[in-house]
Homo-oligomer: A and B are copies of this chain.
Amino acid sequence: MQTKILLNEDRIPKQWYNIIPDMPGPLSPVIHPGTLQPVTPDDLLPLFPMGLIEQEVSQQRWIDIPDEVREIYRLWRPAPLYRAHRLEKALGTPAKIYYKYEGGSPAGSHKPNTAIPQAYYNKIFGTKRIATETGAGQWGSAMSFACQMFGLACTVYMVKVSFNQKPYRKSMMQLWGSNVIPSPSDQTNAGRAILAQFPDSNGSLGIAISEAVEDAATHEDTRYALGSVLNHVCLHQTIIGIEAKEQLAIAGDYPDVVIGCHGGGSNFAGIAFPFAADKANGKNVRLLAMEPTSCPTLTKGVYEFDYGDTAKMAPIAKMYTLGHDFMPPGIHAGGLRYHGASPLVSQLVNAGIVEAKAVAQKGCFEAAVMFSCAEGIIPAPESSHAIRGAIDEALQAKEEGKEKTILFCLSGHGQVDMTAYDAYFGGQLEDYEYPAEAIKESLAHLPKVEF
């Protein structure tokens, strides 16, 4: 039975899908954290090249993928679409399960899909160096790879605790030529201020963002890069869903439900937005975002204006948020620990077009192990949330005796995350309760914005 649907390189999409013109209603403005007024392109120019700023607000439905970007995409794209025959059999479900596998990229996840065009638009803009941050290292390694492909220098501020405890992805960044700096560092005012107060600080993603933004804003030849949340990042990731749709058509199929894990939103947007376009045209397809119960932004947050970062230096956007100073418990899916969400995904959730569901981590690892014992690939802990969602949908179909076609995005492999599996097998993982009190407290600190 056919397992993989492959596409040749000449089928790498020539355009990304921009959902902005198909959104249910106008976008809310993005607000400057200092002036509390809508940001202008001039506000953003110290941080991003013009090509990306234009994409951030473009009303054009299809945006050409530059040839130079498609050339690099050839190194791993189109990504394969799998039919999970063996998982279906293990579950005894009448449902058909497909998964789009993004772990075959050099960095092992979907992140290079946007890192490559971000490096490209910086290159043609004249940027010499990228400054960015990374937590566990997925984004930092993707951006390092992309900078190496286009001959840009790259400085990665890596949360110090990860720098010390997760050396594998740090080493990948160094291999691809990046300067990896444990954050907080003495390279920036933001870092020095923290170190003065807390010399032994382990760092946080919020601090690392502040350092990278300051680095970019204070160096003429340097720009900042973000791996999720923003509109242009979601745009670049739509290549996932565009390819998947073509591959499903080859299989003669169309999904009843499309599932992605959700942290900042770019991976979910990537698999789901091209199907949201069909839904807007009357097609009956469910779009399901899976998030952790320990950081339940879409299911327990509010849809309000909030800062993008803890330090209140990043722009304010209308999005689902748990409050910018919400600190989620430490879970092993580090990529899903963001207090906010992509404004585009948020608006779609608020409009009832996208469903969201929260799952606890032990059930996600259980699903990941079941998946790997059937299909082989070891999933990243983040991706396991999508697998949990897909398995639950398949089991429901079994209970109801209904046929159903399920598509999910397997956003990355977990070969560099085996310590998380060890913790699971060793009984060391906890399913954190929905932290209602902490969320209530942090939601009291939202900025006052009226637009």
Contact = CB atoms under 8 A, between A and B. Distances in A.
B167 A419 contact: yes
Interface stretch (A42-50, A153-161, A374-382, A436-444): A374-382
Contacts of A9: 2-4
B76 A376 contact: yes
Contact of A4 (B4, B74, B419): B74
A45 to B, nearest CB: 30
A183 to B, nearest CB: 20
Interface stretch (A171-179, A260-268, A391-399): A171-179
Interface in A200-231: none
Contact of A415 (B108, B177, B421, B422): B108
A416 interface: yes
A168 interface: yes
A419 B169 CA distance: 10
A415 B104 CA distance: 12
B373 A172 contact: no
Contact of A172 (B6, B106, B418): B418
A75 to B, nearest CB: 5
Contact of A378 (B75, B172, B372, B378): B172
Contacts of A108: 415
A176 B368 CA distance: 11
A55 interface: no
Contact of A3 (B75, B369, B416): B75
A148 interface: yes
Nearest to A425: B174
Contacts of A415: 108, 168, 172, 415-416
A8 interface: yes
A56 B3 CA distance: 31
A40 to B, nearest CB: 37
A347 B422 CA distance: 44
Interface in A79-108: 104-106, 108
Interface string A408-422: 000000011011011
A176 B425 contact: no
A376 B167 contact: no
B104 A104 contact: yes
Contacts of A171: 418-419, 421-422, 425
A145 interface: yes
A376 B6 contact: no
A4 to B, nearest CB: 6
A99 to B, nearest CB: 12
Contact of A376 (B145, B373, B422): B145
B4 A167 contact: no
Interface in A124-145: 145
Contacts of A1: 71
Given A171-B419, A171-B425, A175-B378, 5 more contacts: A1-B71, A2-B9, A3-B74, A177-B373, A415-B416
Closest 5 CB pairs of A and B: A106-B376, A171-B418, A3-B74, A168-B418, A75-B376
14 contacts: A3-B74, A4-B9, A4-B74, A75-B376, A106-B376, A168-B419, A169-B418, A174-B422, A174-B425, A175-B369, A175-B373, A175-B378, A175-B421, A176-B372
